């Protein structure tokens, strides 16, 4: 028996790097890259670039996961989890995903739409009365020639659809110019650790940056959508997402906070000089449990957890025999809801970029051209301010998750990863 145990242990150790890949990705099938039309050599080239950037002190580490035709073909950690501690990056490193929380929150809200408890054209004031009489900030020249902020009534209510597509008129205060943004910063909306209900009431007292339904402007819309979920479901945002998404999908490390010491040891950290992503906006510490649950930017997750979520989406709303959304709902979410035909114009900081519209929770590629990326029309994506990124390319039956904590270089790695992964598509 001892001999058998020793040989079994030796056999397991002899699997080398293959075992961690299978263990970490056990909830999704695995395949060699060539089995799903990808080049091992080309994928290794990307991994080597990331390793070189770690060695050069550009980034601390990363986890890259590539799946095609329903199978994980590449799942590689590089560098360190924490540069100060020198801990090697594990495949199950826990990352602050920031705005990659938005697609998850939007999916949760669409589940309530399918349940008949929400409608996209509902005014949000039906759930949040504090938004019943909104005003819009208008900048006009003051007596001294400097702009002053005046307000006018909103011409129509904010709808649930507006929250999902960032056409609510709400904004973010931590990047971009404007007196409304300055008012957001001055209000210090997160002071004192508010509940989501208290945050919503604070935000509703501020003027909108645009008339509802007119302008795409990146915003706290998804945080307010999280509060709508709470009211419509009768649960906290996390309770609802945990019961309906995280637990059934096997997303065991996707949470708002990480109070458990065992999981805290897997939290990825940015470099000390790369912790800021806007005015007054710095990396949070998810080890400190707070009352506020930000559906727009508060989740932490792992590459494997997020891959489970994306596989469900690319499958048309189901995974492992369980349905979460209908395929028509997924199609609606990944259609363009922000085009000129809808009467919507891009704001001054249009993050989806050329060639992209915006659906419900995602940037959506309108056609194969225009955008400087080799993905196909119908691809949808989003990223987090801390450096994480994902995209889903249904026509190529592929999705990618990049977990990284580097706000300074986040846009660089989004383009680099796309270019080098599509160079690996060989059929």
| Domain edge (last residue) among 188, 217, 246 | 217
Closest CA to 258 of 302, 315, 207: 302
259 with 380, same domain: the answer is yes
Cβ atoms of 401 and 420 within 8 Å: the answer is no
pLDDT at position 92: 98
- Residue 288: burial class (beta carbons within 10 Å; 0-12, 13-18, 19+): exposed
DSSP letter, residue 156: S
286 with 405, same domain: the answer is yes
Whether 209 shows a pLDDT value over 60: the answer reads yes
The structure tokens listed for 58 are 């550009």
249 with 136, same domain: the answer is no
Distance of CA 153 to the CA centre of its chain: 32
**Alpha helices (H) in 98-252, listed in sequence order:** 101-114, 160-165, 179-187, 196-203, 221-233, 237-241, 247-249
pLDDT at position 41: 98
pLDDT at position 25: 39
Give residue for tokens 């691809």. Answer: 379
65 with 86, same domain: the answer is yes
Whether 12 shows a pLDDT value over 80: the answer reads no
260 with 350, same domain: the answer is yes
| Domain edge (last residue) among 164, 183, 217 | 217
Q: 153 phi and psi, to 5 degrees?
A: -65, 145
For the stretch 271-307, pLDDT in tens is 999 998 766 678 999 999 999 999 999 999 999 999 9
Closest CA to 95 of 385, 292, 409, 418: 385
| Domain edge (last residue) among 184, 217, 250 | 217
- Rounded-to-integer distance, Cα 120 and Cα 107, Å: 13
124 with 102, same domain: the answer is no
268 with 392, same domain: the answer is yes
Altogether, the residues listed in the chain come to a count of 427
Question: Has residue 10 been placed in a domain?
Answer: no
| Angle formed at CA 221 by CA 217 and CA 225, multiple of 5 degrees | 155
Averaged pLDDT, 95-114: 98
**Alpha helices (H) in 205-302, listed in sequence order:** 221-233, 237-241, 247-249, 261-264
243 with 95, same domain: the answer is yes
CB burial of 82-102 (b: ≥16 within 10 Å; e: otherwise) equals: bbeeebebbbbbbbbbbbbbb
User: Percent of the chain scored above 70 by pLDDT?
Assistant: 93
Residue 125: which domain range?
117-217
Question: Has residue 6 been placed in a domain?
Answer: no
133: how many CB neighbours lie within 10 A of its CB? 11
- Rounded-to-integer distance, Cα 384 and Cα 337, Å: 21
Pairing of strands 135-141, 147-153: antiparallel
Cβ atoms of 209 and 154 within 8 Å: the answer is no
- What DSSP line would sit under 196-211, residue for residue? HHHHHHHHTTSPBSS-
The structure tokens listed for 299 are 């989740």
For the stretch 301-335, pLDDT in tens is 999 999 999 999 999 999 999 999 999 999 999 99
Which residue did the predictor score with more confidence, 334 or 340? 334
- Rounded-to-integer distance, Cα 93 and Cα 162, Å: 34
Question: Has residue 3 been placed in a domain?
Answer: no
266 with 358, same domain: the answer is yes
Distances (CA, A) of 384 to 67, 71, 210, 390: 20, 24, 24, 9
Question: Has residue 8 been placed in a domain?
Answer: no
How many domains is the chain partitioned into structurally?
2
Give residue for tokens 């989004």. Answer: 414
pTM, two decimals, is 0.92
pLDDT at position 400: 98
Question: Has residue 112 been placed in a domain?
Answer: no
Averaged pLDDT, 234-238: 98
Question: Has residue 250 been placed in a domain?
Answer: yes
129: how many CB neighbours lie within 10 A of its CB? 12
- What DSSP line would sit under 35-85, residue for residue? GGTB-HHHHHHHHHHHHHHHHTTS-SEEEEEEEETTEEEEEEEEEEEETTT
Q: Would you call 268 helix, strand, or coil by DSSP?
A: coil
Question: Has residue 13 been placed in a domain?
Answer: no
Averaged pLDDT, 160-178: 94
pLDDT at position 3: 34
The structure tokens listed for 36 are 């799903």
Averaged pLDDT, 401-425: 97
339 with 267, same domain: the answer is yes
Averaged pLDDT, 22-33: 72
Cβ atoms of 296 and 229 within 8 Å: the answer is no
Closest CA to 424 of 17, 49, 90: 49
Give residue for tokens 């999705």. Answer: 399
97 with 121, same domain: the answer is no
269 with 411, same domain: the answer is yes
Closest CA to 60 of 323, 269, 317: 269
State the CATH number of the domain containing residue 37.
Answer: 3.40.710.10
Whether 24 shows a pLDDT value over 90: the answer reads no
pLDDT at position 375: 94
């Amino acid at each position: 028996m001892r001999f058998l145990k020793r040989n079994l242990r030796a056999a397991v150790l002899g699997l080398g790097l293959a075992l961690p890949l299978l263990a970490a990705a056990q909830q999704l099938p695995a395949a060699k890259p060539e089995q799903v039309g990808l080049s091992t050599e080309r994928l290794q080239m990307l991994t080597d670039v990331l390793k070189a950037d770690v060695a050069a002190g550009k980034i601390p580490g990363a986890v890259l996961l590539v799946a095609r035709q329903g199978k994980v073909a590449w799942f590689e950690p590089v560098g360190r989890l924490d540069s100060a501690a020198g801990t090697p990056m594990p495949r199950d490193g826990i990352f602050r995903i920031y705005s990659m929380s938005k697609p998850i929150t939007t999916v949760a809200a669409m589940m309530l739409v399918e349940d008949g408890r929400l409608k996209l054209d509902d005014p949000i004031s039906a759930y949040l009365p504090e938004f019943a009489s909104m005003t819009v900030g208008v900048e006009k020249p003051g007596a001294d020639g400097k702009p002053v902020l005046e307000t006018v009534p909103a011409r129509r209510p904010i709808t649930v659809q507006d929250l999902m597509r960032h056409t609510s008129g709400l904004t973010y205060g931590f990047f971009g110019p404007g007196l409304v943004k300055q008012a957001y910063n001055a209000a210090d909306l997160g002071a004192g650790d508010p509940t989501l209900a208290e945050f919503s009431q604070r935000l509703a007292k501020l003027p909108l940056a645009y008339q509802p339904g007119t302008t795409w402007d990146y915003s706290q819309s998804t945080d307010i959508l999280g509060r709508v979920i709470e009211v419509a479901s009768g649960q906290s945002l996390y309770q609802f997402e945990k019961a309906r998404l995280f637990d059934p999908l096997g997303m065991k490390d996707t949470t708002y906070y990480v109070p458990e010491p065992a999981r805290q040891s897997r939290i990825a950290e940015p470099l000390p000089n790369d912790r800021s992503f806007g005015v007054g906006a710095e990396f949070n510490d998810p080890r400190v449990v707070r009352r506020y649950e930000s559906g727009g930017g508060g989740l932490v997750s792992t590459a494997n957890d997020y891959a489970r979520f994306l596989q469900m989406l690319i499958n048309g709303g189901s995974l492992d025999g369980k349905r979460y959304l209908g395929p028509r709902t997924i199609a609606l979410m990944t259609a363009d809801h922000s085009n000129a035909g809808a009467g919507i114009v891009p704001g001054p900081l249009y993050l989806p970029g050329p060639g992209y519209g915006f659906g419900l929770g995602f940037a959506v590629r309108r056609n194969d051209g225009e955008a400087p990326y080799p993905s196909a029309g119908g691809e949808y994506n989003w990223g987090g301010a801390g450096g994480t990124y994902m995209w889903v390319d249904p026509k190529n039956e592929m999705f990618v998750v990049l977990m990284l904590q580097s706000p300074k270089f986040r846009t660089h790695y989004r383009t680099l990863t796309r270019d080098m992964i599509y160079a690996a598509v060989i059929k």
